[in-house]
Structure 1
């Protein structure tokens, strides 16, 4: 009864299938350049899965002021200090590590599906289709595991050192594994020295890891599993010799590697180019003195020539790396140039690693100046793109920029180098976060010292803070540059940058900024001066907040105090106002109290500035601040205290200086109850500066003074 319905449906499906086949056939482009109707479509160009995205990205270009893609594109969430960037990235990766831990510790959740009761059947289950091996749980091997040679192949292919050693022992050791698999296992052990390698999965840990120099010491495991496997092999193949020699040379067992190479040569076993490259890197451990080491290098290169082994790019890098590690001197420089010239004759051009070692040979920190970098950059500018061939390639740009900054001190060379780095896809060669920070440290430093002021400001606006967060030494260079350029507005902004970058607690940097603000303040516009006064007041409040925080936390580390000169600079900036209601005068009062409480290190370098501020405070009607300033000058023993006391008291009493001096000299006994508390404090400061002790009795002394606007000066001592 349903035949009238089913048959049309079948015909419909068949018609759709025919149309689909026709459409697909029509989409196929002819592979020939001509067709029968005269139309010649271009040949099909194979495209990758991300080619369209790359084409779209090329139309937009790179925004250097944007945050890294790993951070949220939100101004409130973008980290702006090196510490926060590191913490942000590592915390995100910690979540991925937690997920990986669950995957490895509870692998049954990802490999088996348990059905509901009553049967509770377990069936194999994969959480991805198709199955992705990188995301699948790793197999677990123990003493009770039943393994085969396929398991050993799996562990070798995935560089699971500990698991491969466990599987190898479960299979019965050296006597139960075929020779081909035994050789692969030997090569794995020699490459990693029987140690589990660092995981390549955690990018952020490697990106933010400290770039520690590798310890050059003999760490090869003598009598280990690799030695046992090699001794059990009969006959010993050239591949086995090559693996053992390279492993020993890599882990600085130089003498044994050299002896085994001589043994293989005496037996007529041919060694590979990689073996000789490894032996070249170990010459410095076998010979002493530059002459003997150069002779040893020539000997190894002669052996390669005698056996008909062709060198490669790594051979050139190994030669220059050894030469750079042996120190400096004319002989090593001539040998390096001769080596590069001979390799060019056989068609081997130096790469970035070779150029890096050349810079290490010629551009020593305290050596004579050599302009070899200009020749290197000229050669690299001829290439369309730079490709990474070995890990040392990422050392070139940071070293070259360091040469531009410290050795050559040439801003034009630095700009050419930076343009080369930004060309095409070359930025991948800048290295990890540590190397990137070193590169920009040198670049910003050489720009601040030798570039025009406008170009320096443009570079700072481009790089800071999303691309590069300056270190304290670089911030000091920036402050010096802004001071020379008279950029008061920028100096006021620099204080907020110090706080954001985490440098607000660095006393030396804050004092340098205050010095620059004092030097540039007079020539600024009123609006800029207002910003600089606000920044100075905020510095005082920030320092007070830090001190209170450390006291509440009971930190035993001594609190680093601002110097009295720096606090005096804050007072000078905040006191530049004739309005007694200006809130900055409160900062002046607080700064003076901190000076009297000895919360600043040392004494001011410009006591006359405090004397001028005391006179100004008395003139606008702030006698308490004037009395505190004069008293502090007297307590410190400055010679300006006497003249400042006379001038301030004359302003308070509206009398001439001669009358004030007569009053202080002849009528001092009657001053105790007849003067305003602030004027009385000034009179005591005068006597203290003159005789070294007060005339008025302590019972008659007032420790605080206030004006009509409740401005006060307190004596805490």
Structure 2
């Protein structure tokens, strides 16, 4: 009642409100009388309706995201449903995400195969997303051109091919436009289904799925369709581009011969045909292709420049390779062609073999030649990053654009250049960057290398703790190497809040199964000055030791045949720790 009494307005406040309402009503009455006299005089008030602002379907979500921002303490949105099951390692994230996605696929397949079990609809209008329909069987569907075009539009490559072959066997007429649409699809995917990397709906399979590289299928359905269709510049260019995409020595040579035949017929090949031959051909082939582009006046696009850069990375001489790459970039800029992130990534990979750098790790040894190449790469990176920072926006122009950030971070971490790495992170997280790396895979490697470099080059334990909690486990998965590096830091500069977080992450990531790592945890806890901790910190210390002991006891009890390989026997230090807490707290 006391709280309610304070919330109610007093007598003076009521008098003020009453006078305000009275004055407002008098003013409104005056305006009404004036409006009435105006209307009687024949003058109506003019109302101007502003035109509607055109907005995209995601503008509202983007506005909410920009307002709320990113919570660095929260997990990834894919794991926020069940806080108790939030994964902390890269492998656990993969298993959790794939299990969640495959469960959705299984539920959708059940709804597709047994639709009568889900006929109780209350939604109006009917939501087709909740009523999935089974894909038509090419052997049972009506052999019509309409069904064929539907399969082509949905990129069901093998089903479309089966339906087309069925239509031809039944002497069904297929128009040239339908055959051309099927030919484009088959040539682009070499007669195979869409690879995991291009799946739009299922993100987990797109990020984690592995698609094997296959060479061009000679005398396949693409070649048969090409023989059926008119030999125009478009159809031949499509075939050449497909042969170069799935390149083999035979297919590249045949692609060159097809371009020569087109030129003999006074047909102008499309730029995609030249780009494929430049990217996959040898030095003689791509120089010939450039000369022919000049003769027939085919304007190069960004794909042509990237193909040229890729072709020059095959040169054996490092000095010659760098000279050619520099000339190409300068010529692009002089002609007003802005290099894409893929262009810069090709240049960086052409200076140093990135695969060797990844294999070497952050602290791997380097030869003198590799050090010189790394210095050259860093000088290039500084110029590239400065240019990217000056651009108003970074847009994606090819699927490989996101690889630039990881390649650049590999070089920065290899050279222990923290300022450059922080510039890369700031550029990647800026609002003007629209190029994002796949979560849990490439993005995890990017931030892992950045965090390890930050731990290595930073001396303040407070800054290290803040950065660690910001990235782990939201973007960076807990690994043995990362845990070991953090343990080394907290042993040199003890801080209880950081120690507790690192050990808890180690428990969640199953680091207790590693005897060496569990021994490090024990040593760190022994070095903690228990008397200097606050009362709440002492309670946290005891609970943390109980967790460790409980984990060791559980691992020691794996005596059954199917779990014996996971058994970790108790060591004297562990036994003493268990006995101490059993006597003290009756653990």
Q: TM-score, normalised by structure 1?
A: 0.64
Q: 1:142 to 1:404 in 2, by over 3 A?
A: closer
- Superimposed CA distance per residue, residues 688-716 of structure 1 (whole angstroms, 9 cap, x where no aligned partner): xxxxxxxxxxxxxxxxxxxxxxxxxxxxx
- 2: CA distance, partners of 1:263 / 1:472: 59
Identify the residue that residue 532 of structure 2 maps to in structure 1.
Answer: 525
Q: 1:133 to 1:302 in 2, by over 3 A?
A: farther
- Superimposed CA distance per residue, residues 80-139 of structure 1 (whole angstroms, 9 cap, x where no aligned partner): 4434433332233223212331343346778xx99xxxxxxxxxx999747759965255
Identify the residue that residue 5 of structure 2 maps to in structure 1.
Answer: none
- 1:160 and 2:156 correspond: yes
Q: Does structure 2 conserve the Cα–Cα contact (< 8 Å) formed by 1:547 and 1:559?
A: yes
Q: Which of residues 329, 332, 336 is equivalent to 1:343?
A: 332
Q: 1:61 to 1:539 in 2, by over 3 A?
A: closer
- Superimposed CA distance per residue, residues 483-525 of structure 1 (whole angstroms, 9 cap, x where no aligned partner): 232335533442221111232212333344445556x547983
- 1:282 deviates by 0.9
**Other structure's SS at 1:491 match:** helix
Structure 1 residues 126-145: aligned runs within 5 Å: 129=125, 132=128, 136-138=132-134, 140-143=136-139, 145=141
- 1:373 deviates by 1.2
- 2: CA distance, partners of 1:556 / 1:178: 66
Q: Which of residues 220, 223, 236 is equivalent to 1:241?
A: 236
Identify the residue that residue 608 of structure 1 maps to in structure 2.
Answer: none
Q: Does structure 1 conserve the Cα–Cα contact (< 8 Å) formed by 2:444 and 2:475?
A: no
Identify the residue that residue 180 of structure 2 maps to in structure 1.
Answer: 183
Q: Where do 5+ consecutive residues of structure 2 fail to align?
A: 1-43, 358-365
Identify the residue that residue 677 of structure 1 maps to in structure 2.
Answer: none
Q: Which of residues 122, 143, 146 is equivalent to 1:150?
A: 146
Q: RCO greater where, 1 or 2, for CA within 8 Å and sep 6 or more?
A: 2
Identify the residue that residue 298 of structure 1 maps to in structure 2.
Answer: 287
Q: Does structure 2 conserve the Cα–Cα contact (< 8 Å) formed by 1:323 and 1:332?
A: yes
Stretch moving more, 139-148 or 95-104? 139-148
- 1:270 and 2:268 correspond: yes
Identify the residue that residue 300 of structure 2 maps to in structure 1.
Answer: 311
- Superimposed CA distance per residue, residues 15-74 of structure 1 (whole angstroms, 9 cap, x where no aligned partner): xxxxxxxxxxxxxxxxxxxxx989877654323344344334322222122222233355
- 2: CA distance, partners of 1:556 / 1:145: 54
**Other structure's SS at 1:311 match:** coil
- 1:418 and 2:413 correspond: no
- 1:226 and 2:222 correspond: yes
- 2: CA distance, partners of 1:280 / 1:134: 47
Identify the residue that residue 455 of structure 2 maps to in structure 1.
Answer: 448
- 2: CA distance, partners of 1:491 / 1:81: 18
- 1:442 deviates by 0.5
Stretch moving more, 494-503 or 422-431? 422-431
Q: Which of residues 387, 400, 403 is equivalent to 1:392?
A: 400
- 1:441 deviates by 1.0
- 1:342 deviates by 1.4
- 1: CA distance, partners of 2:237 / 2:329: 26
- 1:538 deviates by 5.1
- 1:254 deviates by 2.2
- 1: CA distance, partners of 2:575 / 2:74: 38
Q: Which of residues 343, 346, 358 is equivalent to 1:354?
A: 343
Q: Which of residues 253, 256, 263 is equivalent to 1:255?
A: 253
Q: 1:545 to 1:178 in 2, by over 3 A?
A: same
- 1:380 deviates by 0.9
Q: Does structure 1 conserve the Cα–Cα contact (< 8 Å) formed by 2:200 and 2:206?
A: no
Q: 1:328 to 1:586 in 2, by over 3 A?
A: farther
- 1:143 deviates by 4.2
- 2: CA distance, partners of 1:558 / 1:132: 48
Q: Does structure 1 conserve the Cα–Cα contact (< 8 Å) formed by 2:392 and 2:432?
A: no
- 1: CA distance, partners of 2:131 / 2:255: 39
Q: Which of residues 93, 97, 101 is equivalent to 1:93?
A: 101
Q: Does structure 1 conserve the Cα–Cα contact (< 8 Å) formed by 2:277 and 2:285?
A: no
- 1:307 deviates by 1.7
Structure 1 residues 460-609: aligned runs within 5 Å: 460-487=468-495, 489-514=497-522, 520-521=527-528, 525=532, 539=548, 541-549=550-558, 551-555=559-563, 557=565, 583=581
- 1:72 and 2:80 correspond: yes
Q: 1:142 to 1:379 in 2, by over 3 A?
A: closer
- Superimposed CA distance per residue, residues 650-701 of structure 1 (whole angstroms, 9 cap, x where no aligned partner): xxxxxxxxxxxxxxxxxxxxxxxxxxxxxxxxxxxxxxxxxxxxxxxxxxxx
- CA-atom RMSD in angstroms: 3.7
- 2: CA distance, partners of 1:456 / 1:178: 66
Decide which structure has the larger Cα Rg and report it: 1
- 1: CA distance, partners of 2:77 / 2:295: 53
Q: 1:499 to 1:427 in 2, by over 3 A?
A: farther
Q: Does structure 2 conserve the Cα–Cα contact (< 8 Å) formed by 1:411 and 1:451?
A: no
- Superimposed CA distance per residue, residues 313-350 of structure 1 (whole angstroms, 9 cap, x where no aligned partner): 11222222344466671111111111111122221111
Identify the residue that residue 387 of structure 2 maps to in structure 1.
Answer: 379
Q: Where do 5+ consecutive residues of structure 1 fail to align?
A: 1-35, 115-124, 288-292, 576-580, 591-717
- 2: CA distance, partners of 1:267 / 1:77: 66
Q: Does structure 2 conserve the Cα–Cα contact (< 8 Å) formed by 1:359 and 1:399?
A: yes
Q: 1:544 to 1:523 in 2, by over 3 A?
A: closer
- 1:271 deviates by 1.0
**Other structure's SS at 1:146 match:** coil
**Other structure's SS at 2:430 match:** coil
Q: Does structure 1 conserve the Cα–Cα contact (< 8 Å) formed by 2:512 and 2:518?
A: yes
- 1: CA distance, partners of 2:160 / 2:508: 49
Identify the residue that residue 644 of structure 1 maps to in structure 2.
Answer: none
**Other structure's SS at 2:237 match:** helix
**Other structure's SS at 1:240 match:** helix
Identify the residue that residue 29 of structure 1 maps to in structure 2.
Answer: none
Q: Does structure 1 conserve the Cα–Cα contact (< 8 Å) formed by 2:412 and 2:418?
A: yes
**Other structure's SS at 2:397 match:** coil
- Superimposed CA distance per residue, residues 351-387 of structure 1 (whole angstroms, 9 cap, x where no aligned partner): 1111111221224435222221111111111123211
**Other structure's SS at 2:512 match:** coil
- 1:530 deviates by 8.8
Q: 1:132 to 1:76 in 2, by over 3 A?
A: closer
Q: Does structure 1 conserve the Cα–Cα contact (< 8 Å) formed by 2:322 and 2:351?
A: yes
- 2: CA distance, partners of 1:278 / 1:362: 23
